[in-house]
Amino acid sequence: MSDDIGLRSDRGPALLALLLATFLIGMAQWVIATAVPSIAADIGGFSSFPWLFSVYLLTMTVTVPVVSRLADIVGRKRLLLVGISVFVLGSVLCGLAWSMPSLIAFRVVQALGGGSIQSLALTVIGDLYNREDRARVQGHIAVTLAAASVIGPLVGGFFAMMDAWRLVFLINLPIGVLALWLIYRNVHEQVERRAHRIDYAGAVLITGALSLLVLGALEGGGAWAWTSATSLTIFAVGAALLVAFVLRERRAAEPIIPLGLFRRRLVVVMAVLGLMMGGIMVGLTAFAPIYLQVAGGASPIWAGVAVAAMALGLPASSALAGTLSLRWGLRRTTVLGAVLAVAGVAGLAAFAHYPSVFTVAACAALVGIGFGLTTVPGLVALQESVAWNQRGMVTGLVTFFRSLGQVLGVAALGAVGKAMLGDAARDQDPLVVQSAIGVVFTLMLVFALIHLFGSFAMPRSVATTGAGGTPAAASRSAS
């Protein structure tokens, strides 16, 4: 196993750039939460603030598959530079926003860049490193995201206290410029130059379909009733566009998502695991803090610390996942991770009537450790099993299904929570909140069991194409 993976190695500057870019999108997801009251006090529109999160998640989700496929056609470096530039532009515009509608619109611009970074950073790592080193480097990515999840709310709260919420967005400018310069100087690739027939129609259809379906899932039961004409129309049109996309992809010369990929067991397993993982993670981060504060009387800080244990457990196991999968095999490592995740969620459900910061933290840590073991080996194997000109696409699919799981998790768990809570959360009725969140945790356990069953379908081993993939050599950092 190579030791040439640190920041001081010849690929160190490129790795630093990828970590900075990853830190940017990690911060963007967390930093705004604690600054919302300050933002609304300045520019108004408090009732619309949930859209700041919804449109960001929606845009990132629908961006990933299209950008990932284009990366396999025109190269990663060019699109990564564009993605970071768009993210920085969106951040600056958010910092200059004069109203809540303008801020929401600029969050869309920011998320377009964020969705590009999210998938492409993992893809470039797949190009830069071989199978053994790739798992260890992706542990660095997990640590970076964990750090962003902890630092983000603190930074947002600090700027809010200083009455300088605009710096929440403008701080991305120097970090983004540094990441751009490092990538421009240190990431190089040799893309095979040939004529391409980019599937523009497919890109439009999948973007429209996912936009409507994700929007319907995010806002259903909130902005409009699930059975309302608005909801039914959104889902019907979204489903029709999805069918049209599938028909289009069957005859496209270079499809956005080759449907033949879903005949491969590893792709299907990773899709199922990603969906369930996203649902469990969003359920834990959305409902555990309310549960601890209202039912357990914990302070917001301690409630946040308990949930952050998941973000700390995930990178810890990610760093070991590659070594374990090489020693024990892909399936055994994945099943072990899934068992730990089930144990963590089962603990939440079993002790729901005994709210405790320590219990939630321990269970969240188990969930994080489990997900590190199920995600990293599968992603590494998937990247290794395809050629260079499909690596971006399969990496994007893993990212996409995890984001889609978050969306569906918000919809399903949110509907259950709203139905049982009613006004209890507002009225702070501990017993009702405790009972309702217990049901939510039980539904999360169902997700975890599906996640476990899916892990048993993981192949024992995967045929590899090698690190380079195709004669169009993978990205390399300048020495």
Taking only the tens place, the pLDDT of each residue in 389-416 is 777 788 888 888 888 888 788 778 877 7
Separation between Cα atoms, residue 28 and residue 395, nearest integer Å = 21
Q: Which single residue is written with the structure tokens 């949110």?
A: 414
Residue 33 is predicted with a pLDDT of 67
The DSSP output letter for 474 is P
Predicted confidence (pLDDT) at residue 269 exceeds the cutoff of 50: yes
What value does the mean pLDDT of the chain take?
A: 81
- Size of the chain in residues: 479
| 311-326: average pLDDT | 76
Residue 475 is predicted with a pLDDT of 39
Separation between Cα atoms, residue 307 and residue 326, nearest integer Å = 30
Band (467; pLDDT cuts 50, 70, 90): very low
Predicted confidence (pLDDT) at residue 285 exceeds the cutoff of 60: yes
| 220-241: average pLDDT | 87
Separation between Cα atoms, residue 422 and residue 426, nearest integer Å = 8
| 416-443: average pLDDT | 73
Separation between Cα atoms, residue 320 and residue 377, nearest integer Å = 10
Residue 8 is predicted with a pLDDT of 56
Residue 425 is predicted with a pLDDT of 46
The contacts of residue 354 (CB under 8 Å, 6+ apart) are none
User: Mapping DSSP to helix (H, G, I), strand (E, B) and coil, where does residue 99 land?
Assistant: coil
User: Mapping DSSP to helix (H, G, I), strand (E, B) and coil, where does residue 166 land?
Assistant: coil
Predicted confidence (pLDDT) at residue 1 exceeds the cutoff of 50: no
- The model's pLDDT over 120-159, given as tens digits with 9 standing for 90+, comes to 888 888 778 776 677 677 777 777 877 777 777 778 778 8
Instruction: Give residue 84's Cα distance to chain centre.
Output: 17
CB atoms within 10 A of CB 290: 17
pTM summary value? 0.77
Predicted confidence (pLDDT) at residue 424 exceeds the cutoff of 60: no
Range in 92-101, 388-397, 453-462 with the lowest mean pLDDT: 388-397
Band (445; pLDDT cuts 50, 70, 90): very high
The DSSP output letter for 292 is I
Q: Which of 367, 358, 363, 354 is nearest to 279 (CA)?
A: 367
| 78-87: average pLDDT | 92
User: Which residues does residue 188 pair with via DSSP β-bridges, in sequence order?
Assistant: 476
Percent of the residues in the chain that have a pLDDT greater than 90, as a whole number: 22
Residue 239 is predicted with a pLDDT of 93
Residue 335 is predicted with a pLDDT of 93
| 253-277: average pLDDT | 86
Predicted confidence (pLDDT) at residue 21 exceeds the cutoff of 50: yes
Residue 130 half-sphere exposure toward CB, CA atoms < 13 A: 7
Band (7; pLDDT cuts 50, 70, 90): low
Residue 300 is predicted with a pLDDT of 66
Residue 471 is predicted with a pLDDT of 32
Residue 59 is predicted with a pLDDT of 85
Q: Which of 253, 256, 259 is nearest to 393 (CA)?
A: 256
Band (428; pLDDT cuts 50, 70, 90): low
Band (32; pLDDT cuts 50, 70, 90): confident
Separation between Cα atoms, residue 400 and residue 271, nearest integer Å = 9
Between 336 and 472, name the one with better pLDDT: 336
| 298-309: average pLDDT | 76
- The model's pLDDT over 171-227, given as tens digits with 9 standing for 90+, comes to 899 999 999 998 888 887 766 666 667 778 888 888 888 888 888 877 777 778 888
